[in-house]
Structure 1
Amino acid sequence: MVSNKKEKIFHLLLATGSVFLTISLIGYPDEAFDAAVEGLTIWWDVVFPALLPFFIGAEILIGLGVVHFMGVMLEPFMRPVFNVPGAGSFVMAVGLASGFPIGSILTSKLRRNQMLSKTEAERLLCFTNTADPLYMFGAVAVGMFYNAQLGILIAVAHYLSSLSVGLLMRFYKRNSSDITTETKTSEHIIIRAFKAMFKGKRDDQRPFGKLLGDAIRNSVNTLLLIGGFIILFSVIIRILTVIGFIELVTTILSPIFLTLGLRPELIPTLISGFFEISLGSELAAGLSNVPLTQKLMAVSAIIAWSGLSVHAQVASITSDTDINVVPFILARILHGILAAIYTIPVVHHLYDYIQPVQKVISDVDPNLNLLTSWHWGLALFASALCILILVILLSIILSTINSSKRVFFFIRK
């Protein structure tokens, strides 16, 4: 009874909001059109070309059984650290490299393929939807702050807080019996991994030509869905700004921010970032009378929260599974708070080291800022790949030690 009442209230709020949005579009057609074009430009120029190759590659790797291979190889590491199967390492690695919402897409695929339980999928979803290096270094650091090295500060705070969320979420439903089980066998982990890969490819049954076609078609359809959400929330933010809603909220929250030692000018940026991260980050970067640390704290919190636009994308992507998005949303709040907090020591310890480099680059050639951002982005991607390789090696070592222990106890008996 209570659930039905909440559902009716939620539907009523949605209906009211939809009517309000429609009336606002009629009242401010020029503003709505400009905002829609702005959102479309962001999607076409940045999101589509950046994510399409990753989406296609991920689909192909799943079809070829590579994810099954990684699932076996990384089970000895992922299970004790994050309490998810080894297949989650693939989602984590690709999420680090390409950013949201690919983490939710891959998590949903693994859940549909029964490679994750419901609980494990919810844990994995909470910490694998991260921003990509290119966005933090290129779009935010260079495009908005005009300082490539600030991308280091943003990325370090972002990934440290993301891993912290992953470590905390391992305790989510820790006593649940809803977990995938690893088959006990005396075979070496590498042999088992290759067998799992061949079995995954055999179960898929699609020839490579069809696999490639399906990967392209599914990826484009997903990106069209993402583009629609970006345009919609771009329009919503513009309408809220025009009607004075953001200004009203700023007035109400200003005393609280002053009490916390934060500048009230940050409030409009956080409200915009609540809906869409690019718009909120750009507003934060443009604040001239706010200390850099507070601007970076706001940007870190916005990127970690990822915006209602991304939340809506994740909800839509996972809608055909039994994955509950409530833990994901709560984890985004935790991620945002931790990212803002981590920014303070990160700026304190790293800012003095990057400033001299930025000054030399600016004196030589401002265009090198963009080149530097690409270098840092590629370096971060390479670091993620190296970490993945090291984790694989660690998993092999752990598996070998466990196998040796089993053999030892068998001989003693």
Structure 2
Amino acid sequence: MAKRYFTIALCILTFAAMLAFPKAVFNGASEGLLLWFQIIIPTLFPFLLITNLLLMTDSIHYIARSIARPLRFLFRVSGNGSFVLLVGFLCGYPMGAKMTADLVTSNKITEAEGRYLLSFCNNTSPVFILNFIVWKTLGQESLALPTLFILILSPMFVSFLTRRFYLKGASCFPDIRTAKQEKKKLDFSVVDACMMNSFEAIVKVGGYIILFSVLLTLIKELPWENPALNLLLPTLEVTNGILILHQFSFPFILEYPAILALTSFGGLCSIAQTQCMIQKTGFPILPYIIEKLAAALAASLLALCYLFLQGLTL
């Protein structure tokens, strides 16, 4: 009951704030829309479309078969699960979550493997890491390889800690053998269905980005300064959050681990996007949040170790 009243009060307060600060709402919505239109759609939509086509035509089997052996050895995943690994680490939020949910609902991987894959296969893409974090924000090309290494290694470290819980004594997740179904030929009807599915997903992602951008601008309009609140602001949305952390002008030995921790965590906006993608599976979101926080902690510690090895101290 208390949670219900809190939700109602929060919605009313947000509505009142939007009425009180219409300019901030407009600016926030505009920034979110531009981010979605200029960055998210060009980088994410093609991957949404092609992975839908691969899934609908059952072509992931051929890709999974070519990469399954080393990934099965390292992560104990099934053949189809190895494809989620590939997508989750290369294509960016929330592709890992969407592909996991699609394979679970289509009975191509078990629910246990789906939960395991979700715990570490929904990450920021290398393109975003290099373009936005290393080159645009930090402006240090020498950090490209260390940053990639840290942000890829951190969720993998979490997977090594959690997989015993999901495997429950098994050596690896099994390949699901189902009755052979007639493979759909690649024609315009299949492309159309995949395109509509991709449009639905990209619109949902854009809606959450706009929503959290508006919330971010509204919080900035508060008439009082609260240091604790200012430190929590970056956790709302990862792109704006990285810029906010950079603007704080912290010493680099604090800024770099903080940016990598936020990137590994993904922000509350990415959690909302993930929840949207996995809702058909019935997976709870709390374990995912805890595992992303663990990855964020690992990323910050690895970043600190790297900076200390480079001789940088407070």
TM-score normalised per structure 2: 0.90
Aligned counterpart, 2:29: 36
Determine helix, strand or coil for the equivalent of 1:127: coil
Aligned counterpart, 1:160: 153
Q: How does 1:2-401 map to 2 (within 5 A)?
A: 8-72=1-65, 76-79=69-72, 81-175=74-168, 181-182=174-175, 202-243=181-222, 247-248=225-226, 250=227, 253=228, 268=230, 270-288=231-249, 290-349=250-309
* TM-fit CA distance, 1:182: 4.0
The residue type equivalent to 1:307 in the other structure is G
Q: 1:183 to 1:107 in 2, by over 3 A?
A: closer
Q: RMSD of the alignment, in Å? A: 2.5
* TM-fit CA distance, 1:173: 3.6
Q: Which runs of 5+ in 1 are unaligned?
A: 1-7, 185-195, 254-266, 353-413
The residue type equivalent to 2:77 in the other structure is V
* TM-fit CA distance, 1:146: 2.6
TM-score normalised per structure 1: 0.69
Q: 1:307 to 1:203 in 2, by over 3 A?
A: farther
Native 8 Å contact 1:127 1:166 kept in 2: yes
The percentage of counterpart residues that share the same residue type is 21
Deviates more, 1:334-343 or 1:113-122: 113-122
Q: 1:162 to 1:244 in 2, by over 3 A?
A: farther
Native 8 Å contact 2:109 2:175 kept in 1: no
CA-to-partner distance for each residue in 1:271-325, whole Å, 9 max, x for gaps? 122110111100122233x221211111011111101111111111111122222
Native 8 Å contact 2:57 2:185 kept in 1: no
CA-to-partner distance for each residue in 1:66-101, whole Å, 9 max, x for gaps? 322344555554445334322121111122221110
* TM-fit CA distance, 1:212: 1.7
Native 8 Å contact 2:212 2:237 kept in 1: yes
Native 8 Å contact 2:109 2:176 kept in 1: no
Q: Which runs of 5+ in 2 are unaligned?
A: none
* 2-structure distance, mates of 1:233, 1:319: 20
The residue type equivalent to 1:106 in the other structure is M
Native 8 Å contact 1:78 1:89 kept in 2: yes
* 1-structure distance, mates of 2:15, 2:232: 21
Deviates more, 1:11-20 or 1:333-342: 11-20
Q: 1:349 to 1:89 in 2, by over 3 A?
A: farther
The residue type equivalent to 2:221 in the other structure is V
The structure number with the bigger radius of gyration is 1
* 2-structure distance, mates of 1:224, 1:158: 27
